[in-house]
Amino acid sequence: MDAKIDITNAILETERLILRPWKEADLQNFFEYASVDGVGQMAGWMPHKSIEESRGILSRFIAHKHTFALELKGNGIVIGSLGIESSERRQLPEPYASQTGRELGYVLSKDYWGRGLMTEAVQRVIPYCFEDCGCEFLTINYYQENRRSARVAEKNGFRLLLETPDYPTVFGKTTSCLTILEKREWENRSAKMSKPIIITGFQPFGGDTVNPSYEAVRLLPDAIGGFKIVKMELPVVFGKAAEKLLAAIETIHPAAVISVGQAGGRDAVTPELIAVNLMNARIPDNDGNQPLWEPISKDSADGIFTRLPVNDFVNAINAAGLPAKLSYSAGAYVCNDLFYRILNATKDSGLICGFIHVPFEKSQVADRPETPAMELADISKALEICLECLAKKL
């Protein structure tokens, strides 16, 4: 059963977009993206052949009052649409057939793919539908080969409800995937997402002028999987790094914490399985400290296992075509010191936290071509994948 929708007076904003009703003045922008090959096919329609075809569809958008224009902030260009469509055409099982809901349908200009803009728009429309329009559920339907649309649904918490093989389209048969998000699921997810995720990197050390751990962290989006991402740079100093992070944990009350450090010589991103109760510094830290064969905490366990889903991290990074391996040793330098102290200090609260090592980035080994390294963008992408994986489990 469809919830009533009328967006006539609705204007929604995100960090980069304004979602508003369509206007006749949007015709040229609409035709420009809707006429591009590859855009409409993902949603089941052919590219517009003329501006008159676009005009007719634009008129329906305006008359039906349930499709938002996506206006890019700063330049006023309309780059896509997001419709709150009827859900009644789907053969929904109970209890959904008796509840009020709607289906979200969206299209984005090809020039703006890969920037997270549609995920951002859908994230804003969801509370509008649940809180302002009385929806009890929302669905998103996509074709199996449309991975971009699938990612938008996944990132916003939609789960697979039905798969329909041999689904007929104007392009032939495919598998149709129907995903759903219930209001109660969204409310639970929103309550969890009110707490951010902290991710930390380190300052340069050992004579290097950069540290890829923090440089990669800096490149991360400010929100992932609906969670705000708090980025911190920590000193490469025994004890002090943990002090700074624990102070932030006390103030921010995060949902989870991931710390990242450089492991020069490794050829992959390596989530760490265990922290050991040992300080044994090959070189002095940035304050000149060089403890040798000393325990971090005399009265504590010899080792503490991570609370992060590290196997899932490795599998997800590898699935994206990037190198990752599980590591069974975080060493005995400041990285392990931070890892152990944070796990030990939060053992009673059970805060989800752990550590990931990353290799050198390419600029650090320009004069050492035999030394393993990764592109900084790939390191950051691997960390983003870990955060996405973690967000789904929180």
* Residues annotated as part of the active site: 272, 335, 357
- Dist. CA 301–CA 358, nearest whole Å: 26
Alpha-carbon distances of 168 from 104, 144, 173, 181, rounded to whole Å: 20, 13, 5, 25
- Dist. CA 96–CA 180, nearest whole Å: 10
Where would I find the H helices in the chain? 27-34, 51-64, 117-127, 147-155, 183-193, 212-218, 240-252, 310-319, 334-345, 376-393
- Dist. CA 88–CA 160, nearest whole Å: 18
- Which secondary structure element, helix H or strand E, spans residue 235, and what is its range? none
Question: What is the arrangement of strands in the sheet containing 159-169, beginning at the earlier edge strand?
Answer: 12-13, 17-21, 67-72, 78-85, 101-108, 137-143, 172-182, 159-169
